[in-house]
Structure 1
């Protein structure tokens, strides 16, 4: 709707002595289509003009010279309601999509600016469970959305590759791992050893001391501890990258906590120099007032903490990338941690405090409660992806056994179903992991969107045409169902912007579901192929535009768009 808002604003602005940009910002979508396509609230003009909003609206309607894009204007209460010209709507929307193609909806508002997105960040030597799915697919979608707005996006995977848990892993591997080279099922073996350690630890607390000793050896650069750490790191990263390839996700940098170890002393020195630290019970802390606990930087024994490493990472990223924003896609249960980081930076007087954004999300839970790696209560993401793909293969075998590239399509649809399940609702909602819901391909699902795209492509192929230019006569798009699709298509650029600014890919998910529903209603009520030449041509152009936007929208969410299903 942006292009129509701008045209209305340019003609309305002089009458009310506003800048066009202000009018654009004030224009609203009416709650009911019967009230028009756009509405201008006159309430903001009442104090200055000293008139009732309905009187102002009536006066403007009488004096306003409507642009070609507006068919009629109505006064409803204190609103000026605009109804778009169907022919102009069709022409401008379809020409915009045809002209831009797969870049339709993109903008340059972020040109010359960099955004860092920190997401996924699984722990070394642990499986990639479905609990890591939200941060992974949210971060990927947010990265795509900001790239569409013209930003340079730096995608960082801050691996959990440091900490006392590695001491536990080393003890478990040496006691029960039988010096396995970890060439087969390495993550499964390490996972079972990790679970065994924590079960044994409950009965034998001395194991905890052994683990601490091994981690101290690692921190000191001990050769054997470093060898074991590198073994766990290498097999884990290889496994993670395989999963990321399956999800279609790439990172610019894999820099975990260990990367910042040699930068911690400098970071602590910088914080001390800012005069915001104090010593409490031998530990170095930054007091944050009465409402929050102090940020602990260094224990009395000199050991550093997660917050220290994160601050070192923030300083490094600021210096290296000069970003406008650093976005952390991390679960809601880490909110206090990011509040503390932000306040430390603020107390230091650094603009970096305003650049730090914590994009929180709800937890993934099993029906009985939160997942736990330590107790072995985990659903593995690779198992979910494989099960989803297998179920799609069964559906294809039953409904379309002659489908070309069956395995590829099954992978695209199965993986897409899992991704979309994590992105269709507000990111703050907890996800109860339920196999039946994840793999339900009916209703508001990724496969429904992919199928609608494949339907569009099928119609275009059946037409026998390669080009889908607009005819002069657009009467074939005057039907209400076609007009609704056109209006929905016009909202795509604004949807990208809205989803990005709110860090809320579900806004795009909802838009695509609405577009698919609008298109399928059009498909079922308006004949496309076999109509008069101009009618067929205009409707094929509409189908092509829907295919473009569905394909582009699915990509932004991290899904592929099969051409056949």
Structure 2
């Protein structure tokens, strides 16, 4: 039951202006201070229609509202503020959560429409660095939220497995590499060669030309360079899968840039047929009115990211028939996606309207961007392993007899790393700090996981006293917890609307705090209200578990 929708329906029936319920829902606010009510409707937009001050409109509307769900209705300035009937609302919310369980907060907004999500996309032949964590966990969480809202997400790991950098790597391997060393330690050795190439190229710029020539040979299907490239890609995927397994993330497609090599001629042909290709300094471009031209082919005939991305977008639409296609890629690529979407629009594809770039800030180290090229990077696998070790150490100190210590340490350590990213609004940069990331107090996943485990412990101890139907919930001290539980469906929808998982992360922290405060204030098991209080605990457990799941984090039942 969504009480915001109930309030919106009441408002629509009271006012004589033709206004859609959906519009009213978007206008309803939560007052800043609890004493001002639970929900508020601003009347300012109605002033022009009624030709009255908002304050007067609010007073008139508040007198008309009568429903058992509202304990009190007040006009406060230009707002209609309502105070929910705590007993009525609490009983309905708890019954709904306990009945629906993990489906609480689910909607069918998406009506089964497919949404492709371009996420993670690390470069082959390089270690999986912290720099790729953001795209991976933001994209995965958005997929879970989309699924919760009735869409069918298709997660695509658009691997960086093509481009001039691979020509450079092939030159580096042929010049300084050893097959034995690469076989023994593939990613680290290839990464060392890549970094060495760029150091040498600073003194010998001709190396860059050799790198470009090697990539041209690769594009032309030269047997030796193609064999090396396939080997590099295969070894990289094996390493990446270790990371994805640790994070609990899987993909529906691992088609990288190279997959579209045989699909780019068609793109060029379509652009020519639409008279969109123009020559500029020997290169071929598509002129765009509101930004720089989009480069399709270089002078030497090699293709670029844009060419492949146009081919990829067309392929995905023809394969998946998506209603939306999301690109979870750093904000520094904003111009690229603006150009890409404009080119597809000029090509006459109406589905271009469903394309969206989901940008995010960088993970910085000492205030600077991590550079793979210069070898200044932090490896995600090392961070995850250290987080798990720290979690295991904490568990051994606090609960040495705990069963499945290794599994719970994995859930807690990995959860800490994921949550540290997702609790921050995606457009903000994150300063890399292992100490902050692995902190197990405050606004962290372990704090939420521990709250969930505490709820599970209470339920185990009071198992025979749980009643799964609530006729009358009158525990007023639980209201701060109930009001948050009530907001969970709205938080999910807001996270979807803004493509912002941090809204869910902030919510589970807030709910954990409210529940722990309640736990410290009342006696749950030793009380004449034990049945209704355990029903509340059960509802909190369900919502915390589901909130963490939507972030891609597991919820241990013991810690």
Place the TM-score, normalised by the shorter chain, in its bin: over 0.9
Cα gap change, 1:51 to 1:219, in 2 (>3 Å): closer
Q: Is the 8 A contact 1:45 1:53 kept in 2?
A: yes
Residue 208 (structure 1) shift: 2.8
Q: How does 1:516-531 map to 2 (within 5 A)?
A: 516-531=512-527
Quote the Cα distance in structure 1 between the aligned partners of 2:51 and 2:217. Answer: 77
Residue 413 (structure 1) shift: 0.7
Q: Is the 8 A contact 2:97 2:104 kept in 1?
A: yes
TM-score w.r.t. length of structure 2:
0.96
Q: How does 1:381-400 map to 2 (within 5 A)?
A: 381-400=380-399
Q: How does 1:321-332 map to 2 (within 5 A)?
A: 321-332=320-331
Q: Is the 8 A contact 2:412 2:449 kept in 1?
A: yes
What is the alpha-carbon root mean square deviation over aligned residues? 1.6
Q: Is the 8 A contact 1:530 1:536 kept in 2?
A: yes
Cα gap change, 1:231 to 1:478, in 2 (>3 Å): same
> Residues 33-86 of structure 1, C-alpha deviation per residue, up to 9 Å, x if partnerless?
11111112223333333333222222233333x222111111212222111111
Q: Is the 8 A contact 1:468 1:544 kept in 2?
A: no
Q: Is the 8 A contact 2:88 2:472 kept in 1?
A: no
Quote the Cα distance in structure 1 between the aligned partners of 2:466 and 2:271. Answer: 62
Q: Residue 197 of structure 1: SS of its match in structure 2?
A: helix
Residue 11 (structure 1) shift: 3.4
Q: Is the 8 A contact 2:173 2:193 kept in 1?
A: yes
Given candidates 483, 486, 507, the residue that maps to 2:482 is 486
> Residues 293-345 of structure 1, C-alpha deviation per residue, up to 9 Å, x if partnerless?
21110122211111111111111111111111111011111111111112222
TM-score w.r.t. length of structure 1:
0.95
Quote the Cα distance in structure 2 between the aligned partners of 1:424 and 1:178. Answer: 43
Q: Residue 72 of structure 2: SS of its match in structure 1?
A: strand
Q: Is the 8 A contact 1:126 1:191 kept in 2?
A: yes
Q: Which residue of the partner structure matches residue 313 of structure 1?
A: 312
Quote the Cα distance in structure 2 between the aligned partners of 1:190 and 1:468. Answer: 60
Cα gap change, 1:471 to 1:353, in 2 (>3 Å): closer
Q: Which residue of the partner structure matches residue 222 of structure 2?
A: 222
> Residues 263-284 of structure 1, C-alpha deviation per residue, up to 9 Å, x if partnerless?
0000111122222221112211
1:562 and 2:556 aligned = yes
Residue 491 (structure 1) shift: 0.7
Quote the Cα distance in structure 2 between the aligned partners of 1:170 and 1:301. Answer: 19
Quote the Cα distance in structure 1 between the aligned partners of 2:255 and 2:146. Answer: 22
Cα gap change, 1:164 to 1:528, in 2 (>3 Å): same
Quote the Cα distance in structure 1 between the aligned partners of 2:381 and 2:525. Answer: 43
Residue 22 (structure 1) shift: 4.0
Residue 199 (structure 1) shift: 1.8
Quote the Cα distance in structure 2 between the aligned partners of 1:342 and 1:560. Answer: 36
Cα gap change, 1:306 to 1:12, in 2 (>3 Å): closer
> Residues 455-507 of structure 1, C-alpha deviation per residue, up to 9 Å, x if partnerless?
111111111338442343422x222xx11111100111111110011111111
Q: How does 1:403-442 map to 2 (within 5 A)?
A: 403-442=402-441
Quote the Cα distance in structure 2 between the aligned partners of 1:276 and 1:370. Answer: 37
Q: Which residue of the partner structure matches residue 36 of structure 2?
A: 35
Q: Is the 8 A contact 1:389 1:415 kept in 2?
A: yes
Q: Is the 8 A contact 1:116 1:325 kept in 2?
A: yes
1:188 and 2:182 aligned = no
Q: Residue 7 of structure 2: SS of its match in structure 1?
A: helix
Q: Which residue of the partner structure matches residue 514 of structure 1?
A: 510
Q: Residue 83 of structure 1: SS of its match in structure 2?
A: strand
Residue 138 (structure 1) shift: 0.5
Given candidates 545, 552, 558, the residue that maps to 1:551 is 545
Q: Structure 1 unaligned runs (5+)?
A: none
